[in-house]
Amino acid sequence: MDITENSLCATFQQSFLCCRRVGSLPWQELENLLTQQPCLVLNILEKTVNHPLTRKYPPSLQYRRLFLLELIKKHEKSGAEPLDDLYSALAEVLNSEENTVCYKSYFLPSGDAVTLCENIAIISEGTTGLVTWEAALYLAEWAIGNIDVFRNRTILELGSGIGLTGLAICKSCFPKKYIFSDCHQMVLQHLRDNICLNGFVLGKELESQEDTENTQHSDIAQLSVMELDWDSITEQQLSRLEADVIIASDVVYDPDIVTSFTKVLCKLLLCRKVNRHPELLIASTIRNSETYKLFQTKLDDAGLKWQILDDPKRSIFSYQSDCLIQILNVTLKV
Ligand SMILES: C[S@@+](CC[C@H](N)C(=O)[O-])C[C@H]1O[C@@H](n2cnc3c(N)ncnc32)[C@H](O)[C@@H]1O
């Protein structure tokens, strides 16, 4: 395979494994190459539908079906002989039953991947937390470009959902401790499962009242999951966590939760660790400019300063092209 074929196969593989929208894959480039390289279809089949990661952690059936139909269409259009492998892969998919959960694998620059069990519906069990949102990818990408912000530090993530950002940071940015948190029981259970799926061993579950001094020290990041509800957590409970960096992604999506979220940010910023206030980074997809403006106004009213950080390159993960995302660095006004 030459470089063009290699990079096309790699793009198909990465996009397929994280279920990037089928229509956004480079089908035209494939069509152009197929006239000279009809076998390329089999390479793509091996790198996607028949990939060992797909066998172990399959993307949704619907996704695999749509993908295979498009691949077969391109193959037929090239005028090449029919390929049994393509049709048997489709038959296998058509004869299987859809589940409510699927797997998505997100490749990191190291070549390692974060694999997550996600729900196939965007909202289920009354929560938005059972799928990965674009701002989570964006924040993970920013973190990978700014490793020193996280290296050897204690990170607290608010509204972690099923764990993409945290797992990408734990695999790429060498934190000392990483505390995932959320308020929803089902989300917390999926989060724990995903952490284990990615080869991490969870430390003792943190409870809000617990003194975290007791946790062991080692060179490997200590990961824990905590039930943390912004509506009820106290400043005292938060200060025991001794977080150096606090992050959150896609938690500013509903005007009803903006007030409690802003209050928790104020409590967190007042916590000091050896005379330093923690760093606070909030990534948001701006779907509704009114809701986002409300968040900024609440931060201003609470006496907090915010600054928009530079965009990461958006070269690691796949995003919807029309998705406007920003990271705010929130600090106390001095
Ligand atoms: C849109 S999801 C984002 C999940 C993840 N951060 C991501 O970007 O993929 C919002 C998350 O915030 C959590 N959440 C909402 N209200 C909360 C509250 N009051 N306290 C803690 N977490 C909350 C939800 O359970 C959900 O997991």
Distance 328 CA to ligand 1 centre (A): 17
User: CB of 250 closer than 6 A to ligand 1?
Assistant: yes
The per-residue pLDDT for 212 is 42
Class of domain 102-332: alpha beta
User: CB of 136 closer than 6 A to ligand 1?
Assistant: yes
User: CB of 230 closer than 6 A to ligand 1?
Assistant: yes
Distance 183 CA to ligand 1 centre (A): 7
Distance 159 CA to ligand 1 centre (A): 4
Distance 125 CA to ligand 1 centre (A): 13
Q: What percent of the chain has pLDDT over 70?
A: 94
CA dihedral for 259, 209, 201, 50, sign (positive or negative)? negative
209 — pLDDT class (breaks 50, 70, 90): very low
Residue to substitute in 106, 122, 229, 251 for testing ligand 1 pocket (most ligand atoms within 8 angstroms of CB) = 251
pLDDT in tens, 275-328: 788 999 999 999 999 999 999 999 999 999 999 999 888 889 887 767 899 999
The per-residue pLDDT for 217 is 38
Strand pairing report for 113-119 and 101-107: antiparallel
205 — pLDDT class (breaks 50, 70, 90): low
The minimum-distance atom of ligand 1 relative to the CA of 160 is 6
User: CB of 187 closer than 6 A to ligand 1?
Assistant: yes
User: CB of 124 closer than 6 A to ligand 1?
Assistant: no
Residue to substitute in 118, 155, 181, 184 for testing ligand 1 pocket (most ligand atoms within 8 angstroms of CB) = 184
- Return the domain boundaries, the chain: 3-99, 102-332
Q: Which of 35-44, 218-227, 322-331 has the lowest mean pLDDT?
A: 218-227
Mean pLDDT of all residues in 20-33: 95
pLDDT at residue 118 is higher than 70:
yes
**Three-state secondary structure readout of the chain:** CCHHHHHHHHHHHHHHHCCCCHHHCCHHHHHHHHCCCCCHHHHHHHHCCCCHHHHHCCCCHHHHHHHHHHHHHHHHHCCCCCCHHHHHHHHHHHCCCCCCEEEEEEECCCCCEEEEEEECCCCECCECCCCCCHHHHHHHHHHHHCHHHCCCCEEEEECCCCCHHHHHHHHHCCCCEEEEEECCHHHHHHHHHHHHHCCCCECCCECCCCCHHHCCCCCCCEEEEEECCCCCCCHHHHHHCCCCEEEEECCCCCHHHHHHHHHHHHHHHHCCECCECCEEEEEEECCCHHHHHHHHHHHHHCCEEEEECCCCCCCCCCCCCCCCEEEEEEEECC
pLDDT in tens, 49-85: 999 999 999 999 999 999 999 999 999 999 989 999 9
The per-residue pLDDT for 333 is 81
Residue to substitute in 169, 183, 208, 261 for testing ligand 1 pocket (most ligand atoms within 8 angstroms of CB) = 183
9 — pLDDT class (breaks 50, 70, 90): very high
Distance 320 CA to ligand 1 centre (A): 21
User: CB of 186 closer than 6 A to ligand 1?
Assistant: no
The per-residue pLDDT for 220 is 81
Mean pLDDT, the chain, rounded, equals: 92
User: CB of 182 closer than 6 A to ligand 1?
Assistant: yes
